[in-house]
Amino acid sequence: MMLTGGYALIALAACGAAATPASPADHAAAAPGSRHGDDGSTPRDAALPIDQPAPPWQVSQWFNSPPLTLAQLRGKVVFVRWFMGPSCPFCSGTAPTLRALHERYADKGLAVIGMYHHKEETPLDPDQVAGWIRHYDYQFPVAIDKDWTTLRRWWLDGHDRPYTSASFLIDKQGVIRRVHLGGLIAPQGDDITAIRADIERLLAQ
């Protein structure tokens, strides 16, 4: 999502700008991108939390899994993506990519985690979120990031971000190694090619 207004908000798999979690999505498109850690192929950006430990997440409800913590996932490579409902074209367009990552790498040690952040005008309804998870055919764990608590801590606080739909690739020791700035991750293209290469490199470590 592209963020608008005096305080731009961002989410790992969402489409628009918002000044508060209740604000509707703005579907303006912008070119997303990736940045990653010290493997020599992409310049570092000091504003991105790369090569830093991922903070514990604080979420309110889990789907497709018992409650999970990052500590429980230590030893796995973790890919975290924020998303919202199918009114977001970036979320719908990225869904096949997330499914493919889960199907291709789950048995090899990758945990794909979806983080739902609410941007609808209507109140948050977990049953509706469950329906959207079925709509996207997500078989991997999904949590509700109520009030964007984790999104703010990981991504938004203190920064003017272009999207709320950022993604984070975390290594087996819990350190963030790649950040995708948000918007669409298409099933084919430079972004997913680079992400898969980093996943395979981290799985091999």
- Judge whether 174 and 70 are in contact, CB under 8 Å: yes
Mean pLDDT, the chain cut into blocks of 10 residues (205 residues total): 30 40 29 42 61 96 98 98 94 98 99 96 96 98 97 89 92 98 94 98 98
Q: What angle do CA 156, 198, 96 make, to 5 degrees?
A: 75
What pLDDT, on a 0 to 100 scale, did the predictor assign at position 15?
56
Domain boundaries, the chain: 34-145+167-204
- What is the reported pLDDT for 162? 82
The DSSP output letter for 107 is G
Q: What is the pTM of this model?
A: 0.80
pLDDT at 32: 38
In this prediction, residue 122 carries a pLDDT of 92
CATH class of the domain comprising 34-145+167-204: alpha beta
Q: What is the DSSP letter of 108?
A: G
- Looking at residue 147, the DSSP 8-state letter turns out to be G
Contact criterion met (CB below 8 Å) for 26 and 2 = yes
Residues recorded for the chain: 205
Q: How far is CA 68 from the centre of its chain?
A: 16
